[in-house]
Amino acid sequence: MSAQKNSYQWDHTENAYSFFHTFVTKNLPQNKDCLHKFFIETPCFVTEKYDGTNIAKDDQGKMYSRRLVIDAGQEKFLKTSLRKVKEADVVEFRDKLIEVAG
C-alpha cells in the first residue's frame, strides 16, 4: 500500500437517497426529459460500501483511498480487489454526465 497522502481528501460520502431527492426536486417540473434520460435511459451501476472503504479514480487512472494514493500496481486495498476500479472508464462516465447535464 502506498504511504503517499493524497491532496484530495474527502469527509464523507453523500447518501444516494438524499442526493436523488435534491436532484429531482431541483429539476421538476421543468426538466422532466432530462430526469427521464438520467434515471431511465442512462446505463449505470451502483456499489455498496460494506467495509467502510471508499476508492476514487481520476481521469488519468490514478486511484485514491480517502487519505492515500494507491499504487498503480496494487491489486488489493484493505483485502478488497481493485479489479473493478481499474476496469472503470472514468472518462466515459464523466463525458456521459456532462452530456446529461447539458
Residue 93: C-alpha distances to residues 11, 29, 84 (Å): 23, 26, 14
**According to the model, what pLDDT value does residue 45 have?**
52
Cα angle 45, 36, 20; round to 5: 60
How many whole angstroms from its chain centre is CA 51?
Answer: 17
Q: Before 43, cis peptide (omega within 30)?
A: no
Q: What does the DSSP 8-state code read for residue 42?
A: S
Does the structure show a pLDDT above 60 at 88? yes
Q: What is the CA radius of gyration of the chain?
A: 16
Residue type, 48: E
Mean pLDDT of 6-19: 71
Does the structure show a pLDDT above 70 at 102? no
